[in-house]
């Protein structure tokens, strides 16, 4: 079995893949499920907070607990691990964990690793590994051209050409950190649950903040995506992924597909290309 590990600035997502086709939960019915390949063989998945100070031993304990809780063997059943990371300290600890506890080297999505993806930015080395994984998965499932929106610590918009090239991106502050900045600068506003707003016209502070966050970012998505599609040309497919995608996507007009496991699928493809 294969472990795919995506280390983000805020959260780390771990997926367990097998060769057999095993499906996880479906996205909302409003989204077309053309992309079942993202879920083929995905036996289980876990999401933990990214903490750069965690040691290799602590990571091993967490992974062992996840696997053991679901009846999988830490020692005998994992024969491959692939990692993407935007947090260098956390990557170093995970790399050490794999080599020490599993006895082999992980495939790390970094310069020199085969991806099959041409990156046409000014400095390809500065492109986040998760963004490359998203683009690889997008070409495999949808083809190009496409726009991939990843709702993470930052909201990233990646442009993929019809020939399967990563052309570049737009990066905006993520929803959570935008709200954190608002709370820090506005003493009268308190933290709220980021949830589905009842109306766009809020009649209390909580409703007003929820409406501003959800509808405001939905408008941002449509605006940036429209401009990006004009630059790419043709009729790009628009895909959303990331933890907050299910909250924002239903309020946009441009997002066509909601793919929670796009990054993990891309990592799996990268692992296969490097065997």
- Give the residue numbers annotated as catalytic, written as ranges: 130
CA distances 116 to 112, 136, 140, 190, 252, Å, are 11, 8, 11, 46, 31
CA 113 to CA 85: how far, in whole Å? 14
Which segments within 52-117 are labelled E, that is strand? 80-85, 107-108
For β-strands 11-17 and 2-7, DSSP reports them as antiparallel
CA distances 57 to 27, 89, 209, Å, are 35, 14, 41
Give the residue among 191, 222, 233 at the shortest CA–CA distance from 209: 191
Residue with tokens 């966050």: 213
Give the residue among 222, 210, 209 at the shortest CA–CA distance from 250: 222
């Amino acid at each position: 079995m294969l472990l795919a590990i995506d280390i983000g600035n805020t959260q780390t997502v771990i997926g367990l893949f097998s060769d057999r086709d095993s499906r996880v939960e479906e996205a909302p019915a409003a989204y077309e499920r053309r992309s079942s390949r993202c879920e083929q063989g995905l036996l289980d998945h876990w999401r933990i907070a990214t903490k750069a100070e965690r040691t290799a031993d602590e990571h091993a304990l967490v992974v062992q607990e996840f696997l053991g809780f679901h009846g999988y063997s830490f020692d005998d059943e994992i024969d491959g691990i692939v990692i993407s990371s935007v947090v260098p300290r956390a990557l170093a600890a995970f790399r050490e964990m794999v080599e020490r506890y599993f006895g082999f080297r992980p495939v790390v999505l970094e310069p020199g690793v085969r991806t099959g993806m041409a990156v046409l930015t000014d400095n390809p080395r500065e492109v986040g590994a998760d963004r490359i994984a998203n683009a690889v998965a997008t070409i495999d499932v949808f083809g190009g051209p496409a726009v991939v929106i990843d709702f993470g610590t930052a909201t990233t918009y990646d442009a993929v050409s019809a020939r399967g090239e990563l052309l570049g991106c737009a990066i905006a502050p993520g929803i959570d950190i935008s709200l954190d900045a608002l709370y820090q600068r506005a003493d009268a506003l308190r933290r709220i649950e980021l949830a589905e707003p009842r109306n766009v016209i809020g009649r209390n502070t909580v409703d007003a903040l929820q409406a501003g966050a959800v509808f405001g970012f939905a408008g941002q998505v449509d605006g940036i995506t429209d401009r990006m599609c004009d630059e790419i040309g043709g009729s790009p497919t628009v895909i959303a992924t990331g933890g907050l995608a299910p909250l924002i996507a239903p309020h946009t007009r441009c997002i066509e597909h909601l793919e929670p496991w796009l990054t993990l699928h891309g990592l799996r493809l990268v692992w296969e290309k490097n065997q």
